[in-house]
Amino acid sequence: MLRFAILPFVILASPAHAVCALNQEVIFQCLDGAKTIELCLTPSDQNVTYRFGAASAPEIELTRGFDEIEMVPWNGIGRSIWDQVTVSNGNFAYGLFWNYDKFDETASGGLQVTRGESVVARRACTAEGIYNFDILRIAMQEAGYCRSDTNAPLTMGPCS
């Protein structure tokens, strides 16, 4: 199991767009035009809140426990560092992702919405973005989540 932390990656972060509560930590936050895409962690409750839409009135707001999300951390292999978190709501799944190309030294992030197996929307973040997936990975690991191999999502132990 990978036991090292990668420093959170921040690109021109702008707290003016953040809507996470004071007891929450920003895991993912970016803009897609006038829409804010955000994932906030509430460590004390072991849950995350996904928001999409205008910061003052999100179109979608979902709070899910660690056992209701899928987190696939970077596997430590390849030219890119990446992470993905998926929050489900009925037949829909909202996949938040980021990628940092170590050679080009560029970062990108976005949202992929699926309904069943079909991709129904894909949104790319503009230049602004906060990508702190390591905070969520560490919180989940401290709560007893681990993965069986380097390409698997985090699941509740037993951890070896």
Tell me whether residue 129 is in a domain: yes
| Integer angstrom CA distances of residue 14 from 19, 57, 127 | 11, 18, 11
Tens-place pLDDT, residues 75-103: 889 999 999 999 999 999 999 999 999 99
> Is there a domain that residue 8 lies in?
no
Per residue, what are the HEC states of the chain?
CCCCCCCCEEECCCHHHCCCCCCCEEEEEEEECCEEEEEEEEHHHCEEEEEEEECCEEEEEEEEEHHHEEEECCCCCCCEEEEEEEEEECCEEEEEEEEEECCCCEEEEEEEEEECCEEEEEEECCCCEEECHHHHHHHHHHCCEECCCCCCCCEECCCC
Q: Is residue 160 part of a domain?
A: no
Confidence of residue 17 (pLDDT cuts 50, 70, 90): low
Domain range for 74 is 21-146
Report the domain count for the chain.
1
Residue 151 lies in a domain: no
- Domain presence at residue 5: no
Could you report the per-residue pLDDT of 121-145, keeping only the tens digit for each?
999 987 668 899 999 999 999 999 9
**Reported confidence tier of residue 18, pLDDT bands at 50, 70, 90:** low
Residue 126 lies in a domain: yes
Question: Which amino acid appears at position 12 of this protein?
Answer: L
11 belongs to a structural domain: no
